């Protein structure tokens, strides 16, 4: 990947072979964020996973930084009122399925009751590749719509390790107070560690790094998160 002059200049302003304490790393991320817009602070956690192992769950960060999510709920008629009262943006069944088949995807997260999954499963190719498919592991397939939507509106966010064993997660904005971003990071790392597979061996978390949307990566000392 080719980088611009600002990015390359920023690489010279710190030692990118060193792991910094969390507070110092956040200061560097903020200082080295080159864009004029309010960049997102991204956390990357490299895990020691075998090919047969995976890590996937959700976390509610203590300090939110995104706009309100547009939540779509697939449910049958008797659950529609509960979904609407819980704050769903869109509620429906076959009507929404047909709309999505036609290319409509104007929502941020999808929830489904278990009795709808046979039909929702037909959208696998569309929703799956966009990370929008409801999944019991992330609490988005449930009859408890009130509880699920309450957590999603608080900012519950899914995380999962990719094929290389790295979990990528947005944890704040450059404009946020460093202390709030730090608390989000600590919460996220603790939750990732909690999902360690029972058969995982050795040091589970290999490396932690932070970067703004357009800025360079900063290594963070793992012991800083203990």
Assign domain 5-64+157-225 to a CATH class: alpha beta
> Hey, what are 27's tokens?
């200061």
* Separation CA 219–CA 184 (nearest Å): 17
* Separation CA 59–CA 72 (nearest Å): 19
> Hey, what are 224's tokens?
């800083």
Q: Which CATH superfamily is domain 71-153 in?
A: Ribosomal protein L1/L10, domain II (3.40.50.790)
Cα distances (angstroms) measured from residue 80 to each of 83, 89, 109: 5, 11, 17
Domain regions of the chain by residue span: 5-64+157-225, 71-153
pLDDT of residue 17: 84
Does pTM surpass 0.75?
no
Mind listing the pLDDT tens digit of every residue in the chain (226 residues)?
Answer: 566 666 667 677 787 889 999 999 999 999 998 888 999 999 999 999 998 898 988 898 999 888 778 999 999 999 999 999 999 999 999 999 999 999 999 998 999 999 999 999 999 999 988 889 999 988 899 999 999 999 888 878 889 899 999 999 999 999 999 999 999 999 999 999 999 999 989 999 999 999 999 888 999 996 644 4
Long-range CB contacts (< 8 A, 24+ apart) of 193-202?
Answer: 195/55, 195/56, 195/57, 196/55, 197/49, 197/53, 197/54, 197/55, 199/53, 200/48, 200/49, 200/50, 200/53, 201/48, 202/48
Which of 53, 57, 111 has the alpha carbon at shortest distance from 79? 111
Going by DSSP bridges, is the β-strand pair 218-220/19-20 parallel, antiparallel, or unpaired?
parallel
pLDDT of residue 65: 86
- What length is written for the chain? 226
> Hey, what are 218's tokens?
């900063």
């Amino acid at each position: 990947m080719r980088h611009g002059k600002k990015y390359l200049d920023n690489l010279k302003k710190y030692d990118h072979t060193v792991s910094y304490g969390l507070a110092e790393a956040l200061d560097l991320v903020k200082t080295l964020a080159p864009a004029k817009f309010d960049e997102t602070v991204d956390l990357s956690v490299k895990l020691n996973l075998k090919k047969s192992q995976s890590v996937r769950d959700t976390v509610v960060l203590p300090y939110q930084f995104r706009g309100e999510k547009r939540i779509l709920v697939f449910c049958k008629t008797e659950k529609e009122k509960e979904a609407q009262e819980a704050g769903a943006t869109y509620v429906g069944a076959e009507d929404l399925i047909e709309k999505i088949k036609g290319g409509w995807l104007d929502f941020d997260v999808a929830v489904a009751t278990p009795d709808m999954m046979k039909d929702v499963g037909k959208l696998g190719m569309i929703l799956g590749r966009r990370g929008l498919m409801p999944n019991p592991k992330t609490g988005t397939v449930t009859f408890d719509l009130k509880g699920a939507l309450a957590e999603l509106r608080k900012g519950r966010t899914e995380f999962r390790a990719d094929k290389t064993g790295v979990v990528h997660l947005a944890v704040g904005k450059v404009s946020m107070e460093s202390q709030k971003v730090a608390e989000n990071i600590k919460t996220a790392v603790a939750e990732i560690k909690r999902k360690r597979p029972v058969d995982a061996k050795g040091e589970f978390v290999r490396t932690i790094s932070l970067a703004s949307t357009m800025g360079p990566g900063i290594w963070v000392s793992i012991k800083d998160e203990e």
